[in-house]
Structure 1
Amino acid sequence: MLAKQWVLKVVRTKIFGLKYELMANDRRSASAIKRSSVLHRTYVLVPSGSGSWRGPPLLFLGPSLRGMPVTSMVPYMFTELSGCSVSPGNSRGVQKKKRRRRRRRRTSSKSRTLKSIDDLIQATYRPLNGKSKRKTITLLCLVLNYSISDSVSSFHWFRFFDTRSYDLTSLTNFSSFIDYGLDWNTSDSNCCTWIGVTCDNSSVSSKRVVRLELGSRRLKGRISESLAGLDQLRILNLSQNFLYGHLPARLFHLQNLEIIDTSNNDFAGPIPGGSNLSSIRYIDISGNNFIGSVDATLCESSSYIHTINLGNNYFTGEVPANFGRCSSLQQLFLNDNQLSGSFPESLWQLRNLRILHLQHNLVSGPLNDEIGKLSNLVELDISSNRFSGILPDAFERLEKLENFFAGSNNFSGHLPKSLVNSPYIIFLNLNNNTLNGAINLNCSAMVRLTSVDLGSNNFHGPLPDVISSCQRLTHLNLARNNLGGEVPFAFKNLQALRFLSLSNNSLVNISSALATLQHCRNLTSLILSINFHDEQMPRNVNFHFRNLRALVIPYCELRVAAKMLQLLDLSWNRLSGTIPFWLHEFNYLFYMDLSNNSFTGEIPESLTELQGLNNMNTSAERDSLGFPLFWSGADGSRFMYKGIWGFRPTLDLSYNNLTGPLWPGFGNLKELHVLKLKENHLSGAIPDSFSGMINLEVLDLSYNDLSGEIPLSLEKLSFLSKFSVAYNQLQGDIPAGGQFLTFPPSSFEGNEGLHGRQPTPFQPQQAPHDAQLADEETTIIGLQFGLGVMSGFLFTFTLSFSSGWVFAKT
């Protein structure tokens, strides 16, 4: 009986049209090759010299076991094939082994008698024509033996080429789809030297591309299907670019791929289902425009995956229950999508899970007690969903949970005992639910507690003294509850406290509150509005809040000189009377918003002397501060630190009842970026000196009683991107130069005396700052606690702290 043999098989391929694949039927040979540590390359045998062969190259993708491809082999591995000639099996004894060796020597000598490459090619084609396979195998082995014995380098019929040429083709095709940002020299055939490309550490003749890292390179374009040709790729990073279109389906079948990061681009469409990323460990496709359901097979193809980030897309449907099979999963980000349904119970089996982000979705139902099984959980964010019911009393088992965010849901009932006694919690946010009862935080146990937000609930009773034991507490929001009584004197011990909001409650004794809280030396934001009903502010009382930057309080008659004040926002109240003339004494003030009030009289001419708006050296001090802000979005309770440079120098007096002229001195405000005087009763001409505001980006003088002409000197304002003088009594020609070529006709309508060519708008020049220009009346610096309007606000106060902001928002 003959031994099992090597068989040559021909199959179709997109690369060459024909691919030659060696199939191993002999278990011993297959095992020997499989054990080799070098079976990870692909080699091509092509003719050289004057041979007459015109067929496709011989592509050796290596042996296969039971029809499944095994990794590739290198030239010196061809010695394993020397035993592939037809002979009896080696179980017959030594004599048969000797006969095989003699046969190999005879066939090897015959290989030198081959007169042309056509002899070999004809033989290898014979199996397709039903001819003897034995001759094919023998001839193939002869040639391989010949190449080993005479050395590959001296064998003149064949050259060995590594498959780096395939990677070169794939990368070249990939680059042809990138319109901008990719500076590759595609004429250099050594793609391993290209920017962002890393090859393996194999010999020079067989390097393969294993890493493609092009993150944050401002790439613009689409992803070519050819990228999936990098079959040895292990790391793919295309994050933080401007790429668009669909991700190739074949990309999710690269079995060597371990890390894929395409986050923060403009990709769209569904994610191909049935992925086969058998080696994947990390996948991040967040910050795109993907739609459809989440691929439930991500965890089925790989047991190594530890991070899945699908956040900030448009995925719909339910959270896949199959994610419970990701036994190694440590981080799961599904936030900011449109996922709905209940939370799968199978996910409570993820014992290695450390971070779970599900915020800003439509997930509903209760939060199960099974959450206690996630013993390694460090951060849980389920805020802004539709969870309901009572919070589970299972936090004693979550011994690593530090951050728990469950705001903007429909949770009810009391705070669980295991939660208010947890020694591990650092950040706790349960705002905007319907929780009730007393605030029974056990600060003596919660030794790591730093930030608490229980605002917008139904808590009642007095402010608990025990909060003063939270020595590490820096942020406390208890606004919009039913709390009463005085601010406990023990609150003076909160020396780390920086942000405190007690607004919209029923607190009493404002004098006592201020006298107590001034001892909080690090306090920068204090919000006490809509409390202290029918109380009078004490007159001629000094309070010293050394670091206070934001004060939100009604009926202010405090004495102070806030010489370091930088931002003043008193907008959206019902303030009346005249604007105080002494505001110019704030030498560092660069942002003033008094809009949407009922101020009357003239604009104080002293405002044209604001040093923070006409002195570059003064304005350079702004980057020294950082402060907590609240977004004007759905989740108003989330604060963030925003550098002072996030605010453009602004003077906004719009939507009042101001009268009188526009002062020529406004031209001195060289650092001013935004000037809004819309909807007042201002009169007179637009001063020619306005051209001195060289950094001006927004000028809105609409809906007043201005007359005269539009000064031609305004054409010099090269950064002006929004301009409106609509609905005044202006006359003359519309300037036709500079930025005036960009303004739409609506900027000039309502002025019957204006005439001239109506400009055609086009994309305006980029302003010197990246801050997005917006004309909405909402503002990101408002402290989002529901801006209640305060009637009867007395603007007869002198400000009373050494540095900071003053707000009058609630």
Structure 2
Amino acid sequence: MMSRLKQSSSSPCFRCLLLIMFLFSCSKTNCARKVATTAPSEVRALNSIFQKWDTQAPKSNLWNTTGDPCSGLALSQLDSVFEDGDNNPAIRCDCTFDNNTVCHITRLRVYALNKVGQIPEELLDLPYLEFLKIDQNFFSGPLPSFIGKMSKLGLLSIAHNAFSGPIPKELGNLKELYLLSFGSNDFSGTLPPELGNLHKLQELYIDSCGLGGEIPETFANLENLETVWASDVAFTGKIPDFIGNNWTKLMSLRFEGNSFEGLIPSSFANLTSLTSLRIGGIYDGSSSSLDFIRNLKNLTDLVLRNVLLTGVFPSHITELQSLQKLDLSFNSLAGQVPSALFNMRNLENLFLGNNSLSGAFPMQKGEKLQTM
């Protein structure tokens, strides 16, 4: 039986069959890529953008702009390849258009390369762009309203630059956005109510962005939010009650260094998916209770620092067995701290200073508790 198999595998017909199978496979995958070329208008646009930003494709020839940019690693669909530090700046292409003959640029990343300049209008000539990440550079000027025409964008990340002026209301037209990041810039004004139209938004990073004012009521529509980092933003008014009622998918919320007043809404008890909650610096208004945390069993990180907490230290906090960090300092909590708190199995950092607590430290503490 084995001898027959060896004979058949060495026969001319068998080798022909292998060749036909290879050619068929090639025509379906790699060979199609070889004949596909980047849309000429996108080649011109990319070259113009890179010229204005004084940048070029990586010197290691991972892909190129002198010929067809949709080449080399630009054809890889792996995020690990696109985000690789040596592949920077980076693009990603999709070459499945027009029967696998046309490539369109779908991703652009120019990350932490100390580049200067503004956002050029040539970006509109990349109509299939889904991902734009230009963080940690020195880009400046306004965020242009024409970005609202880039309808396929799912990710827009421009944090850690020197952009200024207002946030254009046209960003509300980007209905495919799932991530928006513009923190650590010099913007002015308030959040446009139109951003409440971004129903697919899951992640919002706007720390230290320069904005202020109240959070628009339209943000109640952002029911798919999972992460909101908005520390060091001069937000005024009360923390909106709709956060607890509408943002029920939240896993991480940061409001530290704002200008909120009033209490922490009791509706936060509905945020049972939260793993991290950080609120710091509420100076005016009614005092807040810790009752709302009773149901937040998934918390690993709870920081409520200087937020006008009052009442007796709650014993039910020891039921949050996933806690790794607890900071309730600079409040008006009173009473004894339950000894079980010091023996929680995952707690590593505990900050309770500047309260009116009483009692003694327990004789033993948990092995992981390193900072008190």
TM-score interval for Structure 1 and Structure 2 normalised by the shorter chain: 0.7 to 0.9
Amino acid at match of 1:318: T
SS at match of 1:395: helix
TM-score (structure 2 length as normaliser): 0.75
Higher relative contact order (CA 8 A, sep 6+): 2
- Separation in 2, partners of 1:457, 1:285: 36
Show the counterpart of 1:448.
Answer: 322
Q: Per-residue deviation at 1:295? A: 2.2
> Corresponding residue for 1:349?
221
Query: Are the equivalent residues in 2 in contact too, given 1:451–1:474 (CA < 8 A)?
Result: yes
1:189 is matched with which residue? 67
Amino acid at match of 1:269: G
Counterpart of 2:359? 485
Corresponding residue number in structure 1 for 2:233: 361
Please show how residues 14-93 of structure 1 align to structure 2 within 5 Å. Answer: none
Q: Deviations over 1:744-780 (max 9, x none)?
A: xxxxxxxxxxxxxxxxxxxxxxxxxxxxxxxxxxxxx
User: For residue 186 of structure 2, what is the amino acid of its counterpart?
Assistant: Y
**Per-residue displacement from partner, 1:140-189 (whole Å, max 9, x unpaired)?**
xxxxxxxxxxxxxxxxxxxxx97655554444445545656745687963
**Matches of 1:305 and 1:245, distance apart in 2:** 24
Gaps in structure 1 of 5+ consecutive residues = 1-160, 201-210, 220-229, 501-810
**Inter-partner Cα distance in structure 1 for 2:175 and 2:184:** 25
String of CA shifts for 1:643-700, please: whole Å, max 9, x gaps: xxxxxxxxxxxxxxxxxxxxxxxxxxxxxxxxxxxxxxxxxxxxxxxxxxxxxxxxxx
The question of 1:472 aligning with 2:346 is answered yes
| Residue 437 of structure 1: how far off its partner (Å) | 2.3
Amino acid at match of 2:191: V
* Contact map agreement 1:286 1:309 (CA 8 A) in 2: yes
Is structure 2 residue 133 aligned with structure 1 residue 287? no
Give the equivalent residue in structure 2 for 1:391: 264
Instruction: Give runs of aligned pairs for residues 406-425 of structure 1, distance below 5 A.
Output: 406-410=279-283, 413-425=287-299
Amino acid at match of 1:311: G
Counterpart residue number, 2:136? 264
By how many angstroms is 1:216 displaced?
6.4
- The one-letter code matched in structure 1 to 2:331 is N
SS at match of 1:461: strand
Contact 1:457 1:481 in 2 (8 A): yes
1:350 & 1:466 partners in 2: Cα distance? 38
Aligned position for 1:430: 304
What residue in structure 2 maps to residue 542 of structure 1? none
Distance 1:174 1:216 in 2: 20
2:189 counterpart of 1:332: no
| Cα separation, partners in 2 of 1:271 and 1:371, compared to 1, 3 Å | same
Partner secondary structure for residue 389 of structure 1: coil
Q: For residues 103-118 of structure 1, what are the structure 2 equivalents within 5 Å?
A: none
Residue 417 (structure 1) shift:
1.0
Cα distance in structure 2, aligned partners of 1:288 and 1:319: 18
Cα deviation, 1:347-374, whole Å, max 9, x if unaligned, reads 1221111001110110011113222221
Aligned to 1:519: none
Aligned amino acid, residue 150 of structure 2: L
Check the 8 A contact 2:76/2:82 in 1, yes or no: no
Contact 2:297/2:321 (<8 A) preserved: yes
Matched-pair contact (CA < 8 Å) for 1:414–1:435: yes
Structure of larger gyration radius = 1
- 2:170 paired with 1:297: yes
Identity between Structure 1 and Structure 2 (%): 24
Query: What's 1:595 paired with?
Result: none
Contact 2:39 2:104 (C-alpha < 8 Å) held by counterparts: no
- Asked if the contact 2:272/2:295 (under 8 Å) is kept, the reply is no
2:93 matched to which residue of 1? none
Instruction: Letter of the 1:299 partner, please give it.
Output: G
Distance 2:367 2:65 in 1: 65
Q: Compared with structure 1, are the counterparts of its residues 169 and 371 closer, same or farther at alpha carbon in structure 2 (3 Å cutoff)?
A: closer
Question: Does the 8 Å CA contact 1:263/1:286 hold for their aligned counterparts?
Answer: yes
What SS does structure 1 have at the residue aligned with 2:144?
A: coil
Answer yes or no: is the 8 Å Cα contact 2:42–2:105 preserved in 1.
Answer: no
Q: TM-score, normalised by structure 1?
A: 0.36
Q: Which consecutive residues of structure 2, in runs of 5 or more, have no partner in the other structure?
A: 1-35, 90-101
User: Aligned partners of 1:304, 1:287: CA distance in 2, in Å?
Assistant: 23
Q: Distance in 1 between matches of 2:269 and 2:166?
A: 35
Q: 1:321 to 1:244 in 2, by over 3 A?
A: same
Partner of 1:508: none
In structure 1, distance between residues paired with 2:329 and 2:361: 16
- Tell me the alpha carbon deviations over residues 105-146 of structure 1, each in whole angstroms, 9 at most, x when there is no partner: xxxxxxxxxxxxxxxxxxxxxxxxxxxxxxxxxxxxxxxxxx
Residues 251 and 456 (structure 1), Cα distance of their counterparts in 2 relative to 1, 3 Å cut: same
Flag as ranges the 4+ runs of structure 1 deviating above 6 A. Answer: 211-219
